């Protein structure tokens, strides 16, 4: 498939005036805004010199919410109304967060169409609204610092964010009044920040472990061009899980078996996070617990402090880190790259500051990763560089970023089969078309069912959207030609259109995925694709044979009804009808070989009847026509 280049916006009418465009890293724990000035990209500090804005929003009654540091001061005393780690909730439904309910102790409610809502003193708030408050604060800070209106922003997302999560991010930006130039995958932004586009024939792995998300990408670089060879990850894995593991250890050692209330959960998670950060610089830490929230609580602490060593913490974190290493192995395999082929490994995300993470990553990749740029700020810096190009501030660095799809896209065909249109790890933006046809005589409409995943059957993939193509001219089954086109833009968002070629009737849909995707589905899709590959091929073969059998049965029954009595003897009729019944029985079973043999036998048995019908049609066509003799 040809790679589609991202077109550069037109140049400013005032060539000496630079347009203001920023890069935004909307993070799980902290968020940042960055801009290019005098050829250098850097993050913008607030009035107190803080580059990091805590991704925390506190809702209040009859007034504006607090965002950032002011909200962080209330995560314990007003836990129910103070939302942290909202990125882990983006694009999810109520059922999806059950696996995260321990590390994200909120009061959840269900909104319209299953959308996840958080119960606050200011009413129900969706994760999109919470994220919008963070983005609005960043943009206001940027415009104040730069003294002008922003033309747009490049917002980064984890490479493994699915359609629903990407759409939720764009919705939050729209709600905040931010013009999104592009959603940029975080690993690609990191590579841009290091200026690796200047390297010739370099292959780089980007290990990105943030507060709530993890992804690994393998990029190939030539001058000015980034091509993502493969990407994988888990959008529900990160530093929050480290905190929860430590907090669980504290509970176990203190004998806290009773259910903790929300302030107590938040308190333990905060103390766990501080201990984790402290153990980057020391061998052990005494975790103070003297501020234990005890109001309206039945749970008391047996002691007001506890000792945690670096060795003990490493034992707690290893199972979580091992999950990231397993994903790295699979991604290298998908990219067809070995560890020895890698020129560099980049560490991204605040959780890579943890010593154990650096040790395990260095051991697996057999090299010392790049860490010279602050792992918390690197993504925003790369996004700012890309924003500067996209807004029209042309310089000698022209970047072409070729990201990839994390999962295949396709549609449902007869028999519950999936026909993949754009394969996983295809470069985006991308467009691909394929022609389909009708199944029944006189069919005037077609249901287009769009799917995402790697399995062969519809039931094992994720449904993205359904729409109908109506007004198809009635024809014999198989005569109509319907061209279905999939178009994925640079943000990884999908448009699907269907066109009947003879009548030029068109129907299309911009896929707006529901917010009800379960993370378990996303996390296991690729594992299932490998683990069930052989089973899926057998199932697909059986379903394909069932479709063939059904088509043969329908066609033969119609032919017998129309011409059987006139063209066949009674013995021939009985034989074919018996064959029909036998094939119908086989089609109801699960024996692939027997069904294939049955289709073949009935096809051969009906060949003579088909020939008789063809001869009859020719005689009727020639009846009364003069014969020219040469």
User: What are the catalytic residues?
Assistant: 25, 87, 186, 208
Pure H helices in 293-373: 310-335, 355-365
DSSP string, 381-419: HHHHHHHHHHTT---S---EEEEE-SS-EEEEETTTEEE
What is the C-alpha to C-alpha distance for residues 564 and 573, in angstroms, rounded to an integer?
7
Q: What are phi and psi of 324, to 5 degrees?
A: -70, -40
Nearest to 256 by CA among 264, 585, 230: 264
CB 153 within 8 A of CB 181: yes
For residues 584 and 552, what is the distance between their CA atoms, to the nearest angstrom?
Answer: 10
Region of residue 486 (left: phi > 0; alpha: psi -120 to 50; beta: else): beta
**Structure-token pair, residue 405:** 């799809």
Q: What share of the chain is helix, strand, coil (3-state, %, to 5)?
A: 40, 25, 35
CB 29 within 8 A of CB 424: no
Tokens 């504006």 belong to residue: 64
Q: Specify the pairing of strand 505-510 against strand 494-500.
A: antiparallel
Q: Is the dihedral of CA 615, 621, 626, 630 positive or negative?
A: negative
Which helix or strand (DSSP H or E) is residue 478 part of? none
Find the helix or strand (DSSP H, E) in which 463 lies. Answer: strand 462-470
Distance CA 560, CA 397 (A): 71
Whether 464 and 495 have beta carbons less than 8 Å apart is answered as no
């Amino acid at each position: 498939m040809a790679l589609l280049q991202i077109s550069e916006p037109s140049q400013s009418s005032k060539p000496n005036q630079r347009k203001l465009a920023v890069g935004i890293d909307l993070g799980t724990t902290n968020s940042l805004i960055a801009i290019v000035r005098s050829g250098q990209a850097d993050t913008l500090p607030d009035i107190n010199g803080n580059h990091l804005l805590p991704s925390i929003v506190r809702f209040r009654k009859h007034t504006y919410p607090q965002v950032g540091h002011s909200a962080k001061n209330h995560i314990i005393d007003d836990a129910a109304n103070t939302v942290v780690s909202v990125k882990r909730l983006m694009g999810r439904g109520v059922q999806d967060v059950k696996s995260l309910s321990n590390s994200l102790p909120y009061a959840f409610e269900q909104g319209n169409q299953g959308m996840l809502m958080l119960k606050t003193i200011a009413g129900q708030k969706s994760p999109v609204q919470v994220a919008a408050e963070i983005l609005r604060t960043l943009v206001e800070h940027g415009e104040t610092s730069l003294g002008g209106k922003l033309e747009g922003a490049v917002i980064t997302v984890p490479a493994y964010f699915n359609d629903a999560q990407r759409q939720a991010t764009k919705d939050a930006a729209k709600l905040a009044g931010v013009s999104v130039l592009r959603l940029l995958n975080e690993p690609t932004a990191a590579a841009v920040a290091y200026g690796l586009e200047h390297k010739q024939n370099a292959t780089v792995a980007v290990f990105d472990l943030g507060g709530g998300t993890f992804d690994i990408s393998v990029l190939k670089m030539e001058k000015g061009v980034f091509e993502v060879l493969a990407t994988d990850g888990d959008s529900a894995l990160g530093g929050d899980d480290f905190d929860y593991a430590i907090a669980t250890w504290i509970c176990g050692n203190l004998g806290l078996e009773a259910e903790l209330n929300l302030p107590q959960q938040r308190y333990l998670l905060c103390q766990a996070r501080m201990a984790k950060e402290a153990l980057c610089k020391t061998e052990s830490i005494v975790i103070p617990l003297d501020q234990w929230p005890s109001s309206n609580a039945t749970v008391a602490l047996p002691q007001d402090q506890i000792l945690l060593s670096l060795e003990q913490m490493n034992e707690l974190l290893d199972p979580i880190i091992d999950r990231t290493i397993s994903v790295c192995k699979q991604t290298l395999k998908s990219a067809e790259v070995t560890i020895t082929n890698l020129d560099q490994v980049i560490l991204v995300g605040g959780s890579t500051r943890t010593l154990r993470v650096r040790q395990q990553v260095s051991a697996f990749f057999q090299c010392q990763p790049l860490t010279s740029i602050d792992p918390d700020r690197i993504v925003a810096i790369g996004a700012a560089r890309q924003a500067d190009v996209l807004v029209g501030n042309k310089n000698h660095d022209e970047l072409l970023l070729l990201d990839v799809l994390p999962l295949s896209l396709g549609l449902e065909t007869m028999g519950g089969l999936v026909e993949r249109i754009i394969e996983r790890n295809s470069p985006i933006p991308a467009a691909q078309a394929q022609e389909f046809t009708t199944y029944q005589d006189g069919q005037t409409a077609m249901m287009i069912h769009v799917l995402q995943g790697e399995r062969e059957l519809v039931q094992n993939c994720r449904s993205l959207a359904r729409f109908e193509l109506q007004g198809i001219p009635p024809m014999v089954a198989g005569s109509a030609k319907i061209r279905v086109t999939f178009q994925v833009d640079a943000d990884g968002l999908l448009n699907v259109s269907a066109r009947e070629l003879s009548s030029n009737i068109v129907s299309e849909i911009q896929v707006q995925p529901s917010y009800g995707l379960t993370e378990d589905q996303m996390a296991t899709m690729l594992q299932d694709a490998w683990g069930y590959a052989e089973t899926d091929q057998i199932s697909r073969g059986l379903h394909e044979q069932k479709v063939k059998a059904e088509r043969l049965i329908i066609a033969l029954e119609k032919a017998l009804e129309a011409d059987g009595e006139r063209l066949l003897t009674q013995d021939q009729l009985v034989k074919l009808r018996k064959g029909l019944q036998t094939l119908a029985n086989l089609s109801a079973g699960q024996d692939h070989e027997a069904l294939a043999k049955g289709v073949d036998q009935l096809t051969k048995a009906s060949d003579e009847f088909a020939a008789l019908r063809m001869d009859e049609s020719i005689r009727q066509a020639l009846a009364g026509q003069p014969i020219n003799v040469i």
